[in-house]
Amino acid sequence: WRRSHYTNEIDENITGEDVTVMGWVHEIRDLGGIIFVLIRDRSGMIQLTAPSKEIEGELLDKIRKLRKESVIGLKGKVQESGKAPNGVEIIPSEIKVFCLANQPLPMDPTEKVKAEIDTRLDSRFIDLRKPVVSSIFKIKSKMLHTVRNFFEEGGFLEINTPKLVASATEGGTELFPITYFEKEAFLGQSPQLYKQMMMSAGFDKVYEIAQIFRAEEHDTLRHLNEAISIDMEASFMDDVDVMKILNDLVQKVIIDVKQNCKEELKTLEMDLDIPEGHFEVLKYDDAVDMINSKDVPMEWGEDLSRAAEKALGEIMDGYYFLTEWPTEIKPFYVMPNEKNPVKSHAFDLMYKDLEISSGAMRVHQHDLLREKIAEKGLNPDAFNGYLRAFEYGMPPHSGWGLGADRFNMTLTGLDNIRETVLFPRDRRRLTP
Ligand code: AMO
């Protein structure tokens, strides 16, 4: 048994041909004189039509005994049919049952009964069979493909940095400690320190697409404990240069997804707008005023609360940059403004009320960096492996990290990040 066609390749043009399809039994309708079976594969569905007068008894019996979600192979002839979902159907000549599915099913993949997200995640392998769910991951795949192409065309080198690490990068409270032989170690929060060290290594422009781990306490629709970050770092560039790269990348992905994932976007009922030109740039100072104008209390120097993000999201539409953040609330590696060190060269990329990326021009001066680590209450000696790279030839550099799952939320119109991850990890979920 070898597949000759995916179901979406079967149309009027091959009427009369013998085909072999493989897939799942989506639906069975036994009307006595005629049996209809919908067979589903990754690409779509096709109808098997078995008029009892025309099909020999043994085969008919086999079809009658099929159960929903069983995996079968089907050989048969393509025939035009006004009533079938795709305008064509298959008259079976042979059937092979690869796996008979147990009944009842833990959840209904035909969407007739809507399931809660927890039920869906518990049986994720079935949940993912639904086109409305698999579409999210087809879009994610396209997004990542475009990201790789974009960076390759831009002369970036793809790197892989360790995820077993010895120190914090984004603040100490969000670390997952692990046992590493006799030593204390953690799961990596960000490739931050390593991508910066690659600048000292002379790699000039690098990117990485990899897991980041954050011991987020909070159960929100935007945080997971394991997420995918698209990171870049480039030498001899400032924050404005890398913001331009981020702007171009986001636009390129949206154009590519809109062009290549028409079916998936339709399934998700998502109408993607292609943002034109430069994203709006909003200074932190102005953001504070705007947030206060919405009667949400926020002092200068504070990070955005959820209420503050929501207030901003009501005023700002689409993608926009938030710039000139207070140095105090940004990590040690962020470059303070030369003229006014209270402010920094850090930026966030927002989509309405969702932060999708953070980046900055970095501190490349060894002594200043050491000082800033200490100011954060961290022990600079613990960072010696990183700091040494700044002593023997470190160029000025900038970069950002873009949350792939959050970016995917903006492309698919979903508001729960769990929807955009195959097997999400949150406070309560470590399986499947
Ligand atoms: P930051 O901590 O802002 O910056 O992370 C970058 C982006 O990663 C995504 N992200 C998350 N997504 C889901 N769940 C989480 N718990 C989570 N945490 C982060 C967000 C966020 O904008 N080193 C810097 C980047 C840099 O400066 O280059 C960093 O990690 O979309």
The predicted-structure confidence for 152-195, as pLDDT tens digits, reads as follows: 999 999 999 999 998 877 776 789 999 999 998 999 999 999 99
Atom of ligand 1 nearest to the CA of 359: 27
168 lines ligand 1 (CB under 6 A): no
Tell me which DSSP letter residue 362 carries. Answer: B
- In the sheet with 280-283, reading across from the earlier edge strand, the strands are 157-158, 205-213, 226-235, 397-403, 354-361, 346-351, 319-323, 280-283
400 lines ligand 1 (CB under 6 A): yes
274-275-280 Cα angle (round to 5): 170
Residue with CA at minimum distance from ligand 1 atom 30 = 190
Which residues of the chain, if any, have pLDDT below 50? none
- Which of 217, 220, 229 for mutating ligand 1's site (highest number of atoms within 8 Å of CB)? 229
What angle separates helix 239-260 from helix 131-153, to the nearest 10 degrees?
Answer: 140
401 lines ligand 1 (CB under 6 A): yes
Residue with CA at minimum distance from ligand 1 atom 9 = 403
Which amino acid belongs to residue 4?
S
| Ligand 1: centre distance to CA 400 (Å) | 9
170 lines ligand 1 (CB under 6 A): yes
Three-state secondary structure along 201-269? CCCCEEEEEEEEECCCCCCCCCCCCEEEEEEEEEECCCHHHHHHHHHHHHHHHHHHHHHHCHHHHHHCC
226 lines ligand 1 (CB under 6 A): no
Q: How many CA atoms lie within 13 A of 109 on its CB side?
A: 26
**Per-residue model confidence (pLDDT) at position 26:** 96
Which CA distances in Å does 178 have to 185, 188, 191, 213, 425? 5, 11, 17, 12, 17
The Cα 161–Cα 205 span in angstroms is 15
Q: Which two tokens stand for residue 386?
A: 């990183």
**Per-residue model confidence (pLDDT) at position 170:** 76
Name the pairing type of β-strands 226-235 and 397-403. Answer: antiparallel
229 lines ligand 1 (CB under 6 A): yes
**Per-residue model confidence (pLDDT) at position 172:** 63
Rg (CA), the chain: 27
| Ligand 1: centre distance to CA 70 (Å) | 41
**Per-residue model confidence (pLDDT) at position 217:** 85
192 lines ligand 1 (CB under 6 A): yes
Other C-beta atoms closer than 10 Å to the C-beta of 217 total 10
CA 350 to chain centre: 16
- In the sheet with 164-165, reading across from the earlier edge strand, the strands are 164-165, 183-187, 177-180
**Per-residue model confidence (pLDDT) at position 111:** 77
| Ligand 1: centre distance to CA 358 (Å) | 6
Atom of ligand 1 nearest to the CA of 169: 23
Atom of ligand 1 nearest to the CA of 406: 31
214 lines ligand 1 (CB under 6 A): yes
| Ligand 1: centre distance to CA 163 (Å) | 15
Which ranges of 19-171 does DSSP label H, i.e. alpha helix? 57-64, 117-122, 124-127, 131-153
- Which of 333, 358, 364 for mutating ligand 1's site (highest number of atoms within 8 Å of CB)? 358
ipTM score here?
0.99
Residue with CA at minimum distance from ligand 1 atom 25 = 401
Q: Which residues contact 339 (CB under 8 A, 6 or more apart)?
A: none
| Ligand 1: centre distance to CA 109 (Å) | 33
**Per-residue model confidence (pLDDT) at position 216:** 87
| Residues 257 and 413: beta-carbon distance below 8 Å | no
Output 58-64 pairs: Cβ under 8 A, ≥24 positions apart: 59/92, 59/93, 59/94, 59/95, 60/35, 62/95, 62/97, 63/35, 63/37, 63/92, 63/95, 64/30, 64/35
| Ligand 1: centre distance to CA 35 (Å) | 53
**Per-residue model confidence (pLDDT) at position 85:** 81
**Per-residue model confidence (pLDDT) at position 381:** 93
pLDDT tens, residue by residue, 110-142: 878 889 999 999 999 999 999 999 999 999 999
| Ligand 1: centre distance to CA 332 (Å) | 15
Q: Which residues contact 185 (CB under 8 A, 6 or more apart)?
A: 164, 165, 166, 177, 178, 179
Residue with CA at minimum distance from ligand 1 atom 4 = 358
Which CA distances in Å does 217 have to 166, 186, 223, 225? 21, 16, 9, 9
The Cα 193–Cα 162 span in angstroms is 10
Q: Can you tell me whether residue 183 is helix, strand or coil?
A: strand
| Ligand 1: centre distance to CA 355 (Å) | 9
357 lines ligand 1 (CB under 6 A): yes
- DSSP for 388-405? GGGTS----EEEEEEEHH
| Ligand 1: centre distance to CA 401 (Å) | 6
CA 419 to chain centre: 9
